[in-house]
């Protein structure tokens, strides 16, 4: 049985009503298309999770205009619907929902979801004003349209995963928001739909992100150094400085940010931090890439702070 494609909300809803009435779970994988193995890993996870209970997986493909603060980034966003459908089918997805912008944002649309929280004053929240308002709005619309049991997002967009988990909790949506590990190329570059826009030279330069994060992670996890010292504000600042300098040394990179935060709060690293998150964003030509990695700084039993 092939994957079914719906472009209209009402048609999708009608198809899902039957499944929901039978009590079968629905997994949702929201994407902006131009699918790669990173997206497909979320689809595979959803298929695996829903199948034992006879459930289904819905993949949404929608380039959400209101989360782009840069019009030319939106216009140049890759669109490959036919190839996407083939990949979804191969991965075992049951339904692809591919609405038009007019279907999601009809004339007169004026209700948005936003979050007042310090977690939006860091990383992409600070670098891309209005971006998360667009993400929160479209994902809450998708949640209302599909009413999934579980929804799958990549750790590659760690701040997005964080805010979506918080939204589902804050608004009592009753949906499990599940994070899936970042899928990388063999040389470490995180898969991204935007990678196809890189020249060969920019593609090589982009490796500075994963290299920097990894070197920073090794410094934070250095067991030869007392934990107290490793999580001190001075040491964190010095590793952050190292990350910024390393990215700036790459001639084809224009750094947007590099930071180290508590992975569980997105606040500053403190002596209660168990996992630190190193995150970086940079432009390679006109293409902006992001990446992140966690460092284990919390083995409190073995090391005293
Ligand atoms: P996007 O189409 O870029 O909006 O991404 C759709 C979903 O796929 C998001 O939840 C992303 O975090 C996730 N994703 C994108 N790239 C990767 C990757 N390399 N590994 C795992 N998940 C990813």
3-class DSSP state of 257: strand
Point out which residues pair with 176 in neighbouring strands: 150
Return the ligand 1 atom nearest residue 32 CA: 2
Please tell me the distance between residue 156's alpha carbon and the centre of ligand 1 in angstroms.
6
C-beta of residue 161 within 8 angstroms of C-beta of residue 292: no
pTM (whole model) above 0.95: yes
User: Which strand ranges, in their side-by-side order, compose the sheet holding 176-180?
Assistant: 4-6, 95-97, 56-61, 26-31, 150-154, 176-180
| Other residues' Cβ atoms within 10 Å of the Cβ of residue 305 | 16
Instruction: Report H helices in 8-122.
Output: 9-21, 37-50, 71-75, 81-91, 101-104
Q: How far is CA 93 from the centre of its chain?
A: 20
Determine contact, residues 173/124, Cβ cutoff 8 Å.
Answer: no
pLDDT in tens, the chain (305 residues): 689 999 999 999 999 998 999 999 999 999 999 999 999 999 999 999 999 999 999 999 999 999 999 999 999 999 999 999 999 999 999 999 999 999 999 999 999 999 999 999 999 999 999 999 999 999 999 999 999 999 999 999 999 999 999 999 999 999 999 999 999 999 999 999 999 999 999 999 999 999 999 999 999 999 999 999 999 999 999 999 999 999 999 999 999 999 999 999 999 999 999 999 999 999 999 999 999 999 999 866 555 56
Q: Relative to the CA of 39, which ligand 1 atom is closest?
A: 8
Per annotation, catalytic residue among 7, 36, 39, 241: 39
- The residues lining ligand 1, judged by C-beta closer than 6 Å to any ligand atom, are 31-32, 38-39, 41-42, 153-154, 156-157, 180, 182-183, 190-193
- For this structure, is 39 an active site residue? yes
Neighbours of 75 (CB within 10 A): 9
Distance of CA 151 to the CA centre of its chain: 12
């Amino acid at each position: 049985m092939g994957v079914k494609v719906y472009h209209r909300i009402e048609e999708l809803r009608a198809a899902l009503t039957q499944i929901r009435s039978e009590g079968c779970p629905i997994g949702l994988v929201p994407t902006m298309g131009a699918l790669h193995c990173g997206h497909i890993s979320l689809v595979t996870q959803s298929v695996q999770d829903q199948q034992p209970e006879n459930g289904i997986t819905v993949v949404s493909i929608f380039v959400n205009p209101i989360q782009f603060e840069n019009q030319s980034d939106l216009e140049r966003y890759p669109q490959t619907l036919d190839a996407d459908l083939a990949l979804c089918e191969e991965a075992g997805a049951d339904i692809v929902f591919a609405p038009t912008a007019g279907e999601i944002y009809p004339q007169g649309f004026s209700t948005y979801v936003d979050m007042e929280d310090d977690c939006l004053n860091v990383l992409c929240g600070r670098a891309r004003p209005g971006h998360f308002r667009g993400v929160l709005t479209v994902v809450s619309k998708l949640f209302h349209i599909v009413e999934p049991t579980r929804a799958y997002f990549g750790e590659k967009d760690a701040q997005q995963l964080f805010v979506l988990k918080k939204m589902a909790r804050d608004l009592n949506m009753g949906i499990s928001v599940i994070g899936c590990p970042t899928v990388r190329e063999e040389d470490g570059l995180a898969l991204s739909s935007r990678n196809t826009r890189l020249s060969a030279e920019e593609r090589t330069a982009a490796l500075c992100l994963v290299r920097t994060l990894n070197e920073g992670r090794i410094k934070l996890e250095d067991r030869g150094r007392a934990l107290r010292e490793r999580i001190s504000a001075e040491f964190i600042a010095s590793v952050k400085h190292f990350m910024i300098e390393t990215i700036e040394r790459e001639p084809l990179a224009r750094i947007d940010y590099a930071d180290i935060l508590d992975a569980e709060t997105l606040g500053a690293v403190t002596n209660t931090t168990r996992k630190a998150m190193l995150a970086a964003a940079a432009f390679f030509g006109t293409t902006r890439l992001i990446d992140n990695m966690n460092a284990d700084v919390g083995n409190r039993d073995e090391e005293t702070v």
